[in-house]
Amino acid sequence: MKADIFLEEVKKTGIRTIAGVPDSTLKQFCDAVRLDGGKEFCHYVTANEGAAVGLAMGEYLASGRPCLVYLQNSGIGNIINPLASLANREVYGIPMLFVVGWRGEPGVKDEPQHSYQGKVTCELFRVMDVSYAVIDRETTQEQLREVLSEAAVQFGEGRQYAVIVKKGTFEAQEAYVWENGYELIREQALKIILEQAYPDSFLVSTTGKISRELYEQSDALYGNHGRLFLTVGGMGHASMIAYGMAQADREKQIVCIDGDGAALMHLGAFAFIGRQSPENLVHVVLNNAAHESVGSMPTGFSGRTYTGIAKACGYKHAVTVHTGGQLEEALAQARQRRELSMIEALVSLDARADLGRPKESAKENRIRFMEAYQN
Name the segment binding ligand TPP (CB under 6 A); options: 12-20, 139-147, 243-251, 258-266.
258-266
Helices 186-197 and 324-337: crossing angle in degrees, nearest 10, is 30
Residue nearest to ligand TPP (CB): 259
Total number of residues binding ligand TPP (CB under 6 A)? 25
Is the distance from CB of 338 to CB of 282 less than 8 angstroms? no
Name the segment binding ligand TPP (CB under 6 A); options: 3-11, 15-23, 36-44, 60-68.
15-23
Please report whether residue 262 would count as binding ligand TPP according to CB under 6 A.
yes
Cβ distance to ligand TPP smaller for residue 103 or 227: 103
Please report whether residue 206 would count as binding ligand TPP according to CB under 6 A.
yes
Please report whether residue 253 would count as binding ligand TPP according to CB under 6 A.
no
Please report whether residue 226 would count as binding ligand TPP according to CB under 6 A.
no
CB of 72 to ligand TPP, least distance (A): 4
Q: Which of 1, 19, 23, 345 binds ligand TPP (CB under 6 A)?
A: 23
Name the segment binding ligand TPP (CB under 6 A); options: 12-20, 74-82, 119-127, 320-328.
74-82
CB of 315 to ligand TPP, least distance (A): 19
Cβ distance to ligand TPP smaller for residue 235 or 340: 235
Where residue 208 falls (left for φ over 0; alpha for ψ -120 to 50; beta otherwise) is left
Please report whether residue 121 would count as binding ligand TPP according to CB under 6 A.
no
Please report whether residue 210 would count as binding ligand TPP according to CB under 6 A.
yes
Residue ranges in 278-297 that form contacts with ligand TPP under rule CB under 6 A:
286, 288, 290-294
CB of 82 to ligand TPP, least distance (A): 14
CB of 294 to ligand TPP, least distance (A): 4
Please report whether residue 78 would count as binding ligand TPP according to CB under 6 A.
yes
HEC secondary structure over 155-171 = HHCCCCEEEEECCCCCC
Please report whether residue 298 would count as binding ligand TPP according to CB under 6 A.
no
Contacts within 8 Å (CB) and 24+ apart, 328-333: 328/192, 328/196, 331/192, 331/193, 331/196, 331/197, 331/282, 331/284, 332/196
Collect all residues with Cβ–Cβ distance below 8 Å to 340 and sequence separation of at least 6: 273, 274, 277, 278, 279, 281, 283, 314, 315, 316, 317
For 331-351, letters b (16+ CB in 10 Å) and e give: beebbeeeebbbbbbbbbbeb
Distance in angstroms (rounded) separating the CA atoms of residues 146 and 149: 5
HEC secondary structure over 57-122 = HHHHHHHCCCEEEEEEHHHHHHHHHHHHHHHCCCCCCCCEEEEEECCCCCCCCCCHHHHHHHHHHH
Please report whether residue 209 would count as binding ligand TPP according to CB under 6 A.
yes
Binding residues (CB under 6 A) for ligand TPP: these are: 21-23, 72, 74-75, 78, 206-210, 233, 235, 259-262, 286, 288, 290-294
